[in-house]
Structure 1
């Protein structure tokens, strides 16, 4: 079942159960997927769908940080609930050990050995893990590997 089909089924379920948070998040995600499809001009691949979901999750994380700084506990709780719904649609995230292995393999491919190779290594690693790992975690692992 494609992600779009899954979203349609989940919208119906959320409507029946009157779960307003889930319904709004699923509709937002469906809209983001449709916008990306229009932007690219073709049906989205699984990887492109995962990127859209990851982008939505990153936006929620950024909002959460802002709300916490501002002391808006009501919005913090709401954003956390929205993130919980979005989490269902994210692909299985790579573990730290799996990321380290991908970084090591990529470094061997391009023969990256020093901090000067950071940019090249990131360019090689990110397409391999896009949507399945947080960019900041990849950044930390690559920095640690090159030191």
Structure 2
């Protein structure tokens, strides 16, 4: 079952269960998919593109929640975090800190990187290999730690 089919199925289930918050999050995701398909002219998104889009929406929710918290609006921050939780279900399992460190060390060994000057080379490979499995900022931080 493709990611889009899973989302459609979950949307129907949320409608039947009258889960208003979950339905709102899934509809936002479906709208983002439709906009992306319209923009690219594709009839359907492949799973890689879909995962990247879900990651983008999760990051937006997280950033919004942080902004709301710093502004003293806990109610809005909680709503964003709730929606983020509903969207994270569609992401592949995230790597643990140890798994990320191991993966970055392997990439550093493959590329022969030895200093921070080689960070671009390592980041390019790491971003491709770990797409969807780890946050870009976490990857960059780990690469800096390994190369330092």
TM-score bucket of the superposed structures, by smaller chain: over 0.9
Output the CA distance in 1 between the equivalents of 2:103 and 2:34.
31
Across the aligned residues of Structure 1 and Structure 2, the Cα RMSD in angstroms comes to 1.3
Name the counterpart of 2:32. 32
Q: How does 1:1-147 map to 2 (within 5 A)?
A: 1-42=1-42, 43-147=44-148
SS in 2 for 1:22: helix
Output the CA distance in 1 between the equivalents of 2:24 and 2:52.
20
Structure 1 gaps of 5+ residues are none
After superposing the two structures, state which structure 1 stretch, 123-132 or 35-44, moved more: 35-44
Structure 2 gaps of 5+ residues are none
> TM-score, with normalisation over the residues of structure 1?
0.93
Output the CA distance in 1 between the equivalents of 2:135 and 2:110.
22
After superposing the two structures, state which structure 1 stretch, 29-38 or 80-89, moved more: 29-38
After superposing the two structures, state which structure 1 stretch, 51-60 or 74-83, moved more: 74-83
> TM-score, with normalisation over the residues of structure 2?
0.92
Output the CA distance in 2 between the equivalents of 1:100 and 1:34.
36
How far off is 1:36 after superposition?
A: 2.0
How far off is 1:80 after superposition?
A: 1.5
SS in 2 for 1:56: helix
